[in-house]
Amino acid sequence: MRENKNFYLFLLSLILGLIILFFEIFYNQNSANFINNRAIAKVNDQYINEDQFLKYAITLGADFKAEEDEELIDLVLERMIEEELLVQRAIELKLHQQDIQVRKVLIEQIIEFILQLENLNPSDDQLKQYFINNIGKYSSDIELKIDSIFLKSKSEGSAMLGSEYDFELHQNELDNVKSFIATNDFSAAKQKFNEPEFFTIPNGLIKYKDCIQYLGPTICNNLKSLNPGTVTEPVFYNNGFYFLKLVEIKKSLTEAKDFSKFREQIIFDYQNYEDDQAFIKYIEFLKSRASITKYDLK
C-alpha cells in the first residue's frame, strides 16, 4: 500500500514536471516567435509586430516601400505607438469594461477623459488675451470695387470648357485684349472687347461674400491680395474668360475693442485650442512614463 502511494506521488510529480516543462518551452517559443515575427516596436510590455503595422497602414490607405518612404513609416509607427499608449492608459483606468473589442472606442474614451480633466471655463481676461494674440483670424468685412472684361468661351457645351485646351483655343484673342489694355486703358478695352454675360458685376463697392457669389472664392481670394489698379491675367469662370481690374478695396481692420463682436467665435476657438494643447501635453506625459523601443524595419 505504501509502495502504491509512493508510486502515485512519483507519477503525479512527473506529470506536473512535464506540464511545467511544456509550458516553459511553449512560452519561450511563443515569445521568440513573436519577436522573430518582425517586431518593430515595444510599448511598455506590448509588442507591435510587422503584420500589425502593415494591416494598420492599409486601413490608413498608406502605400509605401520601407526603403523609399522612411518618413511615412515613422509617422505611421508613431501613430500606432500613441494609440497603444492611449489603449494601455484606458485599460489602466478600466474604461475597457464598456467595450473591450473596439479599439476605436477605447481611444475616443481616453481622449474624452483627457479633455474632461481640463473642464475649461475661461475668464474674459483669458479670452481677450487670446483674441489679441490671434486678432488676424477675426477680419471684418472687406469691400471690393471690380471692373471686368468678359469673353465668352467657344467651347461651351464641350468637355474642354475651361481646360488648358480652351485657353489655347482663345490664346490669340486673349493676347489681343491684353495688348490693347497695355497700350490704351482698361475702359477702352472694355468698350472694344467686352461681351454680354449671364450676370453683371455691380459697378460700386461689393462685400467680399457677394464677390464670391459672382466670381467664386478662388478668384476673390486672389483679388483681395492685389493693389488697387491692378489688372489680372485672364481667368476662367463659369462659361468664359475674365480680365479683372481691382479699382478699390476697403478693409475694416479688427481692433481690440471689437472683442464683443466676435465673442462667441472666440470662446469656440479658445476651447478648441486648449483641448488640442491638453491632448498634446497628455500624450507627451504618457510617452515620458512609458518604455518605448523602436526596431529597425530594414
Of the candidates 17, 70, 68, 73, the one whose C-alpha atom is nearest the C-alpha of residue 50 is 73
Question: What is the distance between the alpha carbons of residues 222 and 9, in angstroms, rounded to a whole number?
Answer: 91
Fold of 39-138+254-298: Triger factor/SurA peptide-binding fold (1.10.4030)
Write a three-state SS string for 22-76: HHHHHHHHHHHHHHHCCEEEEECCEEEEHHHHHHHHHHCCCCCCCCCCHHHHHHH
The two domains 39-138+254-298 and 141-251 share their CATH topology (first three levels equal): no
Give 63-88 pLDDT, tens digit per residue. 655 555 677 778 888 888 888 888 78
Of the candidates 80, 33, 89, the one whose C-alpha atom is nearest the C-alpha of residue 55 is 80
Cβ(53)–Cβ(39) below 8 Å: no
CATH number, span 141-251? 3.10.50.40
- pLDDT value at residue 25: 41
* 3-state secondary structure (DSSP) of residue 139: coil
- pLDDT value at residue 68: 56
pLDDT of 168 higher than 80:
yes
What percent of the chain lies above the pLDDT cut of 70?
77
Cβ(155)–Cβ(169) below 8 Å: yes
Residue-averaged pLDDT of the chain: 78
Least confident of 86-100, 116-130, 234-248: 86-100
In the chain, where the domains are located: 1-36, 39-138+254-298, 141-251
* 3-state secondary structure (DSSP) of residue 202: coil
Strands (E) in 228-274, as ranges, are 235-237, 240-251
pLDDT band per the 50, 70, 90 thresholds, residue 112:
confident
- Cβ atoms < 10 Å from Cβ of 264: 9
Cβ(137)–Cβ(266) below 8 Å: no
Give 179-208 pLDDT, tens digit per residue. 999 999 999 999 999 998 877 888 888 888
Question: What is the distance between the alpha carbons of residues 57 and 64, in angstroms, rounded to a whole number?
Answer: 9
pLDDT band per the 50, 70, 90 thresholds, residue 272:
confident
Write down the pTM of the prediction: 0.43
Question: What is the distance between the alpha carbons of residues 5 and 12, in angstroms, rounded to a whole number?
Answer: 11
Of the candidates 130, 133, 167, 147, the one whose C-alpha atom is nearest the C-alpha of residue 241 is 167
